Chain A
Amino acid sequence: MLYKKPQIQFYPYIVQRDDYKCVRCLGCVEQCSYDSTFYDEELDAIWNKHEACVGCKRCEAYCPTDAIKIVPNPSRPYEHSSWKWELVMDTYLQANTGGIIITGIGNDKPHRIYFDHLLIDACQVTNPSIDPLREPMELRTFLGRKGQKIVIEETEKGNISLKTKLAPQLQLETPIMFSAMSYGSINLNFQESMARAALQLGTYWNTGEGGLHKKLYPYAGCGIVQVASGRFGVSRDYLKAAAAVEIKIGQGAKPGIGGHLPGEKVNAEIAETRMIPPGSDAISPAPHHDIYSIEDLKQLIYAIKETTRYEKPVIVKIAAVHNVAAIASGIARAGADIIVLDGFRGGTGATPKSVRDNVGIPVEVAIAVVDKRLREEGIRNEVSIVATGGIRNSADVIKSIALGADAVYIATAAMLAIGCTLCQTCNTGRCAWGITTNDPRLARRQNPEIASEQLYNLVKGWSHEIKDMLGAMGINSIESLKGNRLRLRTIGLSEKESDILGVLPAGI
């Protein structure tokens, strides 16, 4: 036995192979991007290095004879109520490496998910429900500043026209958009899939901070481009090409933490798109070094508006943190057209585990307090709210909107739609599902033709469900649900929590 640090043996997964069913096609060997499974020619056997398995289950999904199962290793450190095995394993890992534990995907801790404590109201006899299969149901919504009042003019011929000049709006056919994921953290195939799906769905996708690849310029009309602290890929053409520009101040999965794409992942194409030399580290600092106040933010917002001739809405994205309502109010006053609130369950390519699991607040609470504050200040119409970071299904969308959001962004759900198994190793850049990787051998695992179809199906499915739920509430347009908290009730929450959410408890 070769020397190994002892605790390495307590690996989390075991690759179980039914040797009789295994036909040695070697598909699993090729699919495993973590070198956990390999072929021994001499013995004509496939062997496993269990300790390298991350539990991505790619082999399991692709085995043509169903011969493999990835199972949790039963031999784990003993269960202890204050030392959960994950904590013990983390301690072993840090004792062996002395580093920060980096991980991917969102917070997996069992913090209260408020969405699951909100119930949707349904009509009975006081007002009738609507059957979305027979009655028209509107999911179209507009994001952007709405102005105080609208002046309508009647022409001589009796036609009616709008006199007020409206601020630029984003028109969404369904209140679901694809959230920011940068080229670099994900590959071009996945970005293209989102772009294609967004175009088909009549919604928007977001480039993230990685710039806009030249191949995706045809999809820029339904794209939102990001300006993050690293200013990667930002040029006049980039700003002008998109439907809207998003300034990223913070991100839910890692509030107050910048981004870092290691140099080895910066290939020629990523370098060109980000406008940096190939092989150089792409570091987005935690703060924007020209923004230390709301006034500074205002300058950037207006610089972007000037560049884009006031034709595009400017979005500001922040992580949901305490005091979020006051921050959002400042952002609205600084001239943002849309504010994105990213909750602490949002995903990411890589973040210190300690930050991911412990920093920030749930998006449900953030939406409720921001919406309430902006209404109280009389400026709710001046800015739209987009919720993201923990939107898991159509019910979460409906509940977000009833709490006060105008629309939502999804990202982890989109990744699940194309195969992600939440193995949380995005940070390694070895994603076996070809999602969070730019390895040419792995990135091809996402064929945009298939992936865009799956993304389209997911959003279409949710949209149907949203219509059903709206119908049950007797509402025929999504815009009528915005901030309509009377359609919600809380269950199992304290009075204080219900109060913060602005939702009455069930029974009232």
Chain B
Amino acid sequence: MKKVIIIEDFCIACYNCEVACVATHSRTQDPVKSYKRENLRGKTNTIVELKGPAAFSSMCRHCKHPWCLDACISGAIQRLDNGIVYLDEERCVGCWGCVIACPYGSAHPNIKHNDKEDTKHAFKCDLCVDRLEQGLKPACVEACPNKALVYDETMPEVLSK
């Protein structure tokens, strides 16, 4: 299965992946409006981690045996036929079981206050399933200016030290 592969050597911590992720998963699809009007700040499925010179964008690995799925009590997390581990926000009851179970820290708790009623659900990377259906690459991959994120089956041959 194709996944987003992170080439740590070339992540420059520009945060473009985070912004692209938020915008893609927003109502308006606009980076500024999604952060400022939809209260989606911090609600990003991929998070840039940074320590010293090392940086990488960390997101759901779409595991073969997803711990989050095992932990989900409401059936909100499903494994789609194409291998994508998908979280149905409608069915999520906000028990945060997946948040605790994921060893990569890729499931996040979300409490939205912007709409008329507050919603409470977990959220995680869906590999931009909608974009994939349109033949596009995941938003983070497309936004990465340094090819540190690639959408592929295996690690491309990179020049390791």
Contacts and interface: CB of A to CB of B under 8 A. Distances in A.
Interface of A: 20-21, 23-27, 30-31, 62, 64-65, 192, 215, 434, 439-441, 444-445, 447-450
A215 B41 CA distance: 43
A444 B35 contact: no
Contacts of A439: 53
B148 A447 contact: yes
Contact of B20 (A64, A192, A440): A64
A445 B147 contact: no
B10 interface: yes
A62 B14 CA distance: 7
A202 B111 CA distance: 58
Contacts of B147: 447, 449-450
- Main SS at interface, chain A: loop
Given A215-B159, A441-B53, A444-B53, A30 B146 contact: no
A65 B31 contact: yes
B143 interface: yes
Given A23-B31, A192-B159, A444-B53, A65 B19 contact: yes
A23 B16 contact: no
B32 A65 contact: yes
Q: Interface range on chain B: under 10, 10 to 19, 20 to 34, or 35 or more?
A: 20 to 34
B9 interface: yes
Given A24-B41, A64-B31, A444-B11, A450 B16 contact: no
Contacts of B52: 441
Given A62-B145, A64-B19, 10 more contacts: A20-B32, A65-B19, A215-B159, A215-B161, A439-B53, A444-B11, A444-B53, A445-B146, A447-B148, A449-B147
A450 B159 contact: no
A64 B16 contact: yes
Contacts of A215: 159, 161
B19 A444 contact: no
A25 B18 contact: yes
B60 interface: no
22 contacts: A20-B36, A23-B19, A23-B32, A23-B35, A23-B36, A24-B35, A25-B18, A27-B14, A27-B19, A30-B15, A30-B50, A62-B145, A64-B31, A65-B19, A65-B31, A439-B53, A440-B53, A441-B53, A445-B146, A447-B146, A447-B148, A449-B147
A444 B52 CA distance: 13
